[in-house]
Amino acid sequence: MIYLENIFVCLAAPLLIAVFLLEGEARRFIGFFLLGLTACLLAGYCNGYIEQAAVSGGLDYTQFVVQFAPVCEEILKALPVLFYMAVFEPKRRSIVSSALAVGLGFATLENVNHIANYGAVELPFALVRGFSAGIMHAICAAILGYGLAFVYQRKWLALTGSFAVICAATTFHATYNLLVSAQGVWRGLGYILPAVAAAAIMIGIKNS
């Protein structure tokens, strides 16, 4: 059995030192990366409880992964960014980079845990994991970052806008989970979906 807390401590310790050593933009990025790792750890706990409740309520494990896990994970990823925006009123660029840092931190701990659980012997396995789930979390974070930065232009839109953006990120995450939980061609589509979406977002950003 792999203990997620132990992996978290190993990854977080040097980053915590870096937060105190660095300054400015780099410190903020590392800080939010650390919060992303923490969000992943908390998601592990929350998902465990929800899974127990869902499975005892008659839901099978796959349905839990597809329908419930994304909701919990996206809310936990959004919380640090929402807090940062509510308290510090940062610039738009800072919101986007903070959200991305949270997403990358989350993806890092999740990937390390996955590799530790299922083995790191095969490079293709690691590549597929890194370029699918890793990018998927980055995209969800980008949706959150750009979306929240946009709706926070007007204070009174914060509540409805934030909820809408979290819903969009959650559905993208759930669609990925749905595809990779299937077999055959669907799973293959799931693996390439994040890369395609990332390319589309990058083209969109360049053109805007």
Partner 1 sequence: MKMTETIHLINQFIQIACLSAVAVLSARRSGWLFRLLAGAFSCYLLGDVFYMLHMWIYGQFPSGFSVAYLSYIGTYFFLITIDLWLAGEWTNEQKKTMRPYRRISMAAPTVVVVLHLIYYIRDGGFFINLLFCVPLSLLAYYSLLILLSGGAQSGLGAPPWWYHGAVLLFVFVENMMFLSSSFGSDTVYTAFDFLMSGAILLMYWAAAKEATA
What number of other Cβ atoms are within 10 A of residue 142's Cβ? 21
Give the residue with the Cβ less far from partner 1, 96 or 151.
151
Tokens of 147: 């979306």
Residue 133 is given by DSSP the state I
Torsion of CA 180, 143, 51, 58, to 10 degrees: -70
Is residue 182 within the footprint of partner 1 (CB under 8 A)? yes
Q: Quick check: 83 binds partner 1 (CB under 8 A)?
A: no
- DSSP-derived letter for residue 182 is S
Note whether 117 binds partner 1 by CB under 8 A.
no
| Closest separation in Å from C-beta 154 to partner 1 | 6
Identify whether the C-beta of residue 47 lies closer than 8 Å to the C-beta of residue 69: yes
Site string for partner 1, 44-73 (x = CB under 8 A): ----------------------xx--xx--
Of the candidates 83, 128, 69, 79, the residue with the CA atom closest to the CA atom of residue 103: 79
Q: Which of 171, 188, 192, 198 binds partner 1 (CB under 8 A)?
A: 171
| Binding of partner 1 by 151 (CB under 8 A) | yes
- Where on the chain is the footprint of partner 1 (CB under 8 A)? 66-67, 70-71, 147, 150-151, 153-154, 156-157, 160-161, 163-168, 170-172, 174-175, 178-179, 182, 186, 204, 207
